[in-house]
Chain A
């Protein structure tokens, strides 16, 4: 692993990935993840040496055709059951922090 290896992540890259992942690691964790993720990425980079020209990607091994169900209503979970799982509610609503105006930004 040389420092010129582009697979080695910088701390700022790790912070960017963490932000995209909706995670907020501490500085110490950023450093640990930087090392561990760099080692893993260096390892998976071996795939770039393979000649894969003409090979179609395979995202899923299952049947490629859709199976259509009859359009018949089935049982559903009661709203009250689902609402009871939410950590914070207000009347019939799930409560979230203010997202519009100051302090907002989802």
Chain B
């Protein structure tokens, strides 16, 4: 399942030069979607008619002429189904929201559409974005286009599979602890988690509000830069969105950074890494040295404690955020047993137990526990102290002159469907390199860095660059230097 579809850059160029119409682009995307989705289960919803109608509208506008080409003109996009659209459903991969139709669109979606993008479908995900494999969806697991017996990663599982299979050149995901970067690595894509506050969270169904960010899955760094330029920005509807101006991400993208300095933490060479990841990582370091980068050995001691801190902070916030799903105002309500007057509390409990899957229930309970009286300081406050130390670790590396910090994105390649699903802790440990970036609020990008042949399939591997807060322009230049040297 090689991705042969055009990139964002190619699509916009073809549409702007009238080489292809938007309708032709969308038809090709839908055709590919219909070919692969039975195997991949990447899409929960497809907007056949709607996307073609929108494409026809854009074509009509083009025929009238006179308008500058918007940056995503005619680009078919897929949206993770925890990002609200004011058409169709927004299920979050959950029985709780199986029939939920959001009355508003996420700011990031409105921005994409304003930039000329066409939404072809909503993608599968781990329920409420909780998971790292795509297996936690109430609507079935998504499969990795590179090997259908393996997971595509998660939680942005369908978004990654859709881009990797060549259905769309761009999908939005959300990243709370690695949910864009890890599937990007498993599917051979560029996955960006922007700095906390860069992209409005309005319309992103909340999982852990101090960690959640919307970001992009694309095939190239340039496409990531184009897409990010469209979705970033201050939003009055998200008080945590930043008013820091976004520099032009494209103007210097291809210019190498002179005296590039990349920090490589001791912890990135963990013995727990899969041998193929260890070998890939040394190749990546050599590739950077080969283009003149200075490689600096650094120490980020708190990386080793990031997973523990994350699995306190994220569930704590989730237990609070998901309290809103009570089965009363919207979402799934349990059917009251006939002839009995259901007490309110019982109705809450039954609606939530029926509506949430096991991983979501586990995290709600974990979060409730760590926030409960007698445990709050021991767990939650301790985790927040580790969070500050972790951020200080990264800050020190940047203060010492590193443009970026390099780690593998994941300790191993995509695993088999079912391989880790019975052991939540083993699944959590997959997040070792990604969660710290969310806790510190930094931008991170996963870039393809080779593959490993296992059982006759080529499984992609990725490296992660982490940059200083709000330095996406520089981070993408580093990623582009690495990509081009490959």
State the A residues within 8 Å of B (CB).
Answer: 9, 14, 17-25, 29, 32-33, 36-37, 39-41, 43-44, 46-48, 50, 52, 55-63, 66-67, 69, 77, 81-82, 85-88, 94, 96-99, 103-106
The reply to whether A22 and B326 contact each other, CB–CB distance below 8 Å, is: yes
* Pairs across A and B, CB under 8 Å, 19 listed: A14-B365, A21-B319, A21-B352, A23-B364, A25-B353, A29-B358, A41-B366, A41-B369, A44-B309, A57-B385, A61-B469, A62-B240, A69-B236, A81-B103, A85-B103, A87-B327, A87-B328, A98-B341, A105-B343
State the B residues within 8 Å of A (CB).
Answer: 100-101, 103-104, 196-197, 210, 236, 239-240, 242-243, 305, 307-309, 311-312, 319, 323, 326-333, 336, 341-350, 352-353, 356, 358, 361-362, 364-366, 368-369, 372, 378-379, 381-389, 391, 424-425, 428, 440-441, 469
Q: How far is the CA of A37 from the CA of B319 in the complex (A)?
A: 14
Q: In the complex, what residue of chain A is closest to B348 when comparing beta carbons?
A: A22
Q: How far is the CA of A52 from the CA of B382 in the complex (A)?
A: 8
When the two chains form the complex, which single residue of B243, B323, B330, B383 contacts A47, counting CB atoms closer than 8 Å? B383
When the two chains form the complex, which single residue of B349, B369, B389 contacts A23, counting CB atoms closer than 8 Å? B349
Main secondary structure of the interface of B (DSSP, over half): helix
The reply to whether A25 and B372 contact each other, CB–CB distance below 8 Å, is: no
Known contacts A9-B369, A24-B346, A106-B348; 11 additional CB pairs below 8 A are A22-B352, A40-B366, A41-B366, A41-B369, A56-B388, A57-B384, A58-B388, A60-B210, A67-B239, A96-B344, A96-B347
The reply to whether A20 and B372 contact each other, CB–CB distance below 8 Å, is: yes
* A29 neighbours in B (Cβ, 8 Å): 358
The reply to whether A77 and B196 contact each other, CB–CB distance below 8 Å, is: no
Q: How far is the CA of A106 from the CA of B103 in the complex (A)?
A: 28
Q: A55-B389, A56-B385, A96-B347 are in contact. Are A44 and B361 (CB under 8 A)?
A: no
Q: In the complex, what residue of chain A is closest to B341 when comparing beta carbons?
A: A103
Contact count A vs B, C-beta below 8 Å:
172
Q: A40-B425, A47-B382, A81-B103 are in contact. Are A22 and B305 (CB under 8 A)?
A: no
The reply to whether A23 and B388 contact each other, CB–CB distance below 8 Å, is: no
* A99 neighbours in B (Cβ, 8 Å): 343-344
The reply to whether B386 and A22 contact each other, CB–CB distance below 8 Å, is: no
Q: How far is the CB of A65 from chain B (nearest CB, A)?
A: 11
The reply to whether B424 and A36 contact each other, CB–CB distance below 8 Å, is: yes
The reply to whether A40 and B368 contact each other, CB–CB distance below 8 Å, is: no
The reply to whether B353 and A50 contact each other, CB–CB distance below 8 Å, is: no
Q: How far is the CB of B466 from chain A (nearest CB, A)?
A: 14
When the two chains form the complex, which single residue of A17, A48, A77 contacts B372, counting CB atoms closer than 8 Å? A17
Q: In the complex, what residue of chain A is closest to B325 when comparing beta carbons?
A: A22
The reply to whether B327 and A55 contact each other, CB–CB distance below 8 Å, is: no
